[in-house]
Chains A and B, each alone.
Chain A
């Protein structure tokens, strides 16, 4: 049972308060997109052993979606941040780098 901190309401909560929403920073492809792009968007997911960026919702709390950066191996949480961004902000990247120098995830590092 993870502990996460909701960046909106500031509550540090048990995992049961939250709802996991899968991979973060997906780029939506809609009508007119190529089969390859659409497949990538709809089905292809990162499955890293290490740093991962995920979406979570404070479902039994303020109801807000947010992002979390964490390690899938050690379950270390590097930080949580706004859902209203297309990429991890610099302070999150720095927090990850401090613990996992040289990390990469998709096009981010």
Chain B
């Protein structure tokens, strides 16, 4: 039984009790507890169930490497799944629930999978995904859907605020253990601007728990001195609760600061994502203890020896009353000694090394602890809690020598440096035979923009495993970081450390060494994903010899802990099965973040209305006041329609079209892209940009033009007005202004840089208003100021003048087929002009219309829309726009590509109109089916619908489509597939449904 001891716990404040609930059970902890330590203090060792077999799982670790203790934390807008109990600071009122079980943690139906373990071996998921479709649909999917998934997804909107923070420093030190503190001190003393971060709330890392003597004082006291020294340095910034999440190119670091997870009711952002540029990064990330692979090493009560020590020393919590310690190195003796000092029973220390340990082992013996060398655990007894162990020879096959009753096991398989941050950006590793671990290879660091290494590993994170080596290494790293960022560096002394020699560790990858299949299939490598020694061996047998393949086949290391505990043990198992040395098997790739970071922190302030900038025309407020229904177009919101009274959107669109075609409509077209192209070579440049001949356009005239990319595909269209001999005004689509301007600049700057052309994007300088309908001219005449008669301004002409006292440029162009003017005025008077038009147009029933009416009217006229009729694979020739392609020009962008055989192929799908025989509206994006089936068993197709609407003007459904040889098949009836599998018959017709002669606009 785990419990709180009557004294001890350097991090908890016994004077301040804190209440929380776990699965509805009310529990008490102390200020300073983690959720994990408080759960243990409350006797709650079992905290969840595993992912695949739903086996009972207890706390294994005390920090970020914890694989089992994931909980659903909080409620409502603060609900978050998969939170690690070991890194969750306790606060009053915390609520959490365990995951991965149904109906309850104690009794779980899914545990049946455990009984089926023999038929759910490694590769189950892999093989399942390769299975036939039918098996998936009826067999696997229902089971997997019910049992898969870790935690629950939050349903409510996040109640908290998050922010990004930018920092530029000489040196970032990641890790506030004794090495990080020392490195920061050396870098700071060397003159560098330093940012030091520590993921936990406390400085010092393991040193205060592990002990030792530095500079004549206890290691813990030395930490306090170091922290005080650093606080006094103005060039050093210190942050706890901030994890180095990732290291990226050229010294970019992400810091993840959990500002008030521990105090949710205080003001401020919950998390802060630091986006840091550093000259040098010192990774003082420490090391993580490895589990040992013996049968039953996942039974609740089996813990890392160092974690057990942490719970004891930091929180005054004993994970068990009788603890068997099992190890292959000296460090675990510290746990045995600490347990003994706390008055707890340690029946035996099992040391797999025949020769046993060094000074620490002697100290343990001196305390009366039994030490058995050359021994290991054959098997742990117990289901939901350890009840005992059977002891065996490490070199044997697991024959039990003795049974020992206990309620906890402290295991240590050696230590692995935390190399993640070193590796994120390409730092290479080297295998250390003595310590049986990978550590950073200082000769192959991640490289910066100047080709020099920009990460320096320090301390245990660099493979320095005793205090003296750690402090020397950290001092060197900090000094080097200062020097390499252009500072003096100075001479920071390495503190004196009392020698504490340890006996060499011995690699133990399987306990006992000769464990047979029965034991191997109970020896866990990856606790969260249920990967056992036997699974990795099976993967190797089945030919998954690459470590990356093994990972995916077995899911080893793919859980939310990303293999922090399982990585090396898994590699070693694979290597031994392949009879290959571990370094030649290599590691899987370490990717950021080090531990998961919140989506809120990634988003930062970019949510709701500031998610992305909203572009507003000067008339936007009017649209809003009218209750317009908006649709996003690029970064703009454009009115889709203006419903009145109780009108539906469809009814509003219909009214807007009827009014426009019948009398007078008005459109805010200000979002239209407007780019000035000017200069002596502008005509030549325009001829290259457009498929049409633009150089022949006369000042005062407009021309509809098509722009293709060099691949020949249509990318934009619009009306070009020639302002003078050297100047053109290019209109682009609403979404196209920026990238078309960029396209122009790219060609001008990188290909034709000797051409004298200047471009300017003036989209937002003008409000542009469409005045559309048979009464359009009457309205402009009423405003007065310029002659817009047919004689003075023919179709496709423009003129500068004044209208109702406003300086205006009037274009006589039409996208609706009606008599139509587009009028541009300065943006600053745009809203006033709009109001003037509305007032003057009242007698004609002037009706503002939105994008849907615009779309329907253009479709009735057979005008294409970029993005509907085009999708990046369509050339103008497909759309019957051959008339807009100059035959006279030698060259334009896309011309050469359009002569490629596939482009000139008569078999291409080409634009036609479609009329359903029953008058119905074809579903958007529907395909025209042909006879037969393709190689995938899908129905063959012969075309697709690009635009489809109900036309109020024609009183029926109309559509535009790209159809195989379409224009050659006028009058033919084809079948269009509907979503329900049935088809609708449609006749191929001209895409111009309304006023094909253009009589309406030529008045």
Task: Give residues in A with beta carbon < 8 Å to B.
Answer: 1-3, 14-15, 21, 28-33, 35, 38, 42, 55, 57, 59, 63-65, 71, 74-77, 83-84, 99
Contacts of B896 in A (CB 8 A): 29-33, 38
Partner of B449 from A21, A63, A65, A76 at Cβ < 8 Å: A76
Beyond A31-B895, A42-B897, whether A76 also contacts B745 by CB under 8 A is no
Q: Are A30 and B895 in contact (CB under 8 A)?
A: yes
Q: Which of B872-905 contact A (CB under 8 A)?
A: 890-891, 895-897, 899-900
A21 touches B451 (CB 8 A): no
4 smallest CB-CB distances across A and B, nearest first, come from: A76-B451, A74-B447, A65-B749, A84-B753
Task: Looking at the assembled complex, report how far the CB atom of B110 sits from the nearest CB atom of chain A, in whole angstroms.
Answer: 43
A99-B451 in contact (CB<8A):
yes
Contact of A76 among B252, B447, B753 (CB under 8 A): B447
The distance in angstroms between the C-alpha atoms of A71 and B450, with both chains bound, is 11
A2 touches B249 (CB 8 A): yes
The interface residues of chain A lying within 8 Å CB-to-CB of B753 are 83-84
Are B750 and A83 in contact, CB atoms less than 8 angstroms apart?
yes
B193 within 8 A of A: no
Q: Which residue of chain A has the shortest Cβ distance to B250 in the bound complex? A: A3
CB–CB A31/B891 < 8 A: yes
Docked Cα-Cα span, A49 to B891, in Å, equals 36
Complex Cα distance A63/B250, Å? 23
By the criterion CB–CB under 8 Å, are A75 and B249 in contact? yes
Rounded to whole angstroms, the CA-CA distance of A3 and B895 in the bound complex is 37
Bound: A31/B449 CA distance, A: 41
Residues 203-231 of chain B, each 1 if its beta carbon lies under 8 Å from chain A, else 0: 00000000000000000000000000000
Q: Which residues of B contact A75 (CB under 8 A)?
A: 249-250, 447-449
Interface size class of B (residues with CB under 8 A): 20 to 34
Contacts A38-B896, A75-B449, A77-B449 given; does A28 touch B751 at CB 8 Å: yes
Q: Which residues of B contact A42 (CB under 8 A)?
A: 710-711, 897
CB distance from B252 to the nearest CB of A (A): 5
Contact B742 A1 (CB under 8 A): no
Closest to A5 in B: B449
Docked CA distance A77–B899 (Å): 39
Tell me if B502 counts as interface (CB < 8 A to partner A): no
Closest Cβ–Cβ distance, residue A26 to chain B (whole Å): 9
Closest-by-CB residue of A relative to B688 is A30
Provide 14 A-B residue pairs closer than 8 Å at the C-beta atoms, listed in order of the A residue. Answer: A1-B248, A2-B449, A3-B449, A21-B746, A31-B899, A35-B900, A38-B896, A38-B900, A55-B750, A57-B742, A71-B451, A74-B426, A75-B448, A76-B447
Distance of A29 Cα from B896 Cα, bound (Å) = 8
Known: A28-B751, A76-B451, A77-B450. 20 other contacts (CB 8 A): A1-B249, A1-B252, A2-B249, A2-B250, A3-B249, A14-B252, A29-B896, A38-B896, A42-B710, A57-B746, A63-B745, A64-B749, A65-B745, A65-B746, A65-B750, A75-B447, A75-B448, A76-B448, A83-B750, A84-B753
CB neighbours (8 Å) of B746 from chain A are 21, 57, 65
Candidate in B250, B742, B890 with the most chain A CB atoms within 10 angstroms: B250
Q: A14 vs B253: C-alpha distance in the bound complex, in angstroms?
A: 13
Nearest CB of chain B from residue A82's CB, rounded to whole Å: 9
Task: Answer whether residue B522 sits at the interface, using C-beta atoms and an 8 A cutoff.
Answer: no
CB distance from A14 to the nearest CB of B (A): 8
Contacts of A31 in B (CB 8 A): 890-891, 895-896, 899
Nearest-Cβ distance from residue B903 to partner chain A, whole angstroms: 12
Distance between Cα atoms of A31 and B895 in the complex (Å): 6
Residues of B within 8 A of A63 (CB): 745
Q: Which partner residue on chain A sits nearest B748 by CB separation? A: A65
Residue on A with the closest CB to B452? A76
Q: Nearest A residue to B901 by beta-carbon distance? A: A35
Shortest Cβ gap from B603 to chain A (Å): 16
- Report how far A3 CA is from B248 CA in the complex, Å: 11
**B277 interface hit (Cβ, 8 Å):** yes
Interface string of B664-677 (1 = CB under 8 A from A): 00000000000000
List of A residues within 8 angstroms of B252 by Cβ: 1, 14
Report Cα–Cα, A82/B35, bound state, in Å: 58
Least CB distance, B139 to chain A, in whole angstroms: 44
Contact of B891 among A30, A57, A99 (CB under 8 A): A30
- Which residues on B sit within 8 Å (CB–CB) of A83? 749-750, 753
The residues of A that contact B710 with a CB separation of less than 8 Å are 42
Which residues of the other chain, B, contact A77 by a CB distance below 8 angstroms?
A: 449-450
* Inter-chain contacts of A29 with B (CB < 8 A): 896
CA distance A1 to B277 in the complex (A): 10
Complex Cα distance, B742 from A64, in Å, reads: 10
- Shortest distance from the beta carbon of A9 to any chain B beta carbon, whole Å: 14
Residue of B nearest to A37 (CB): B896
A100's nearest neighbour on chain B, judged by CB, is: B451
What is the bound-complex CA distance between A42 and B713, given in angstroms? 13
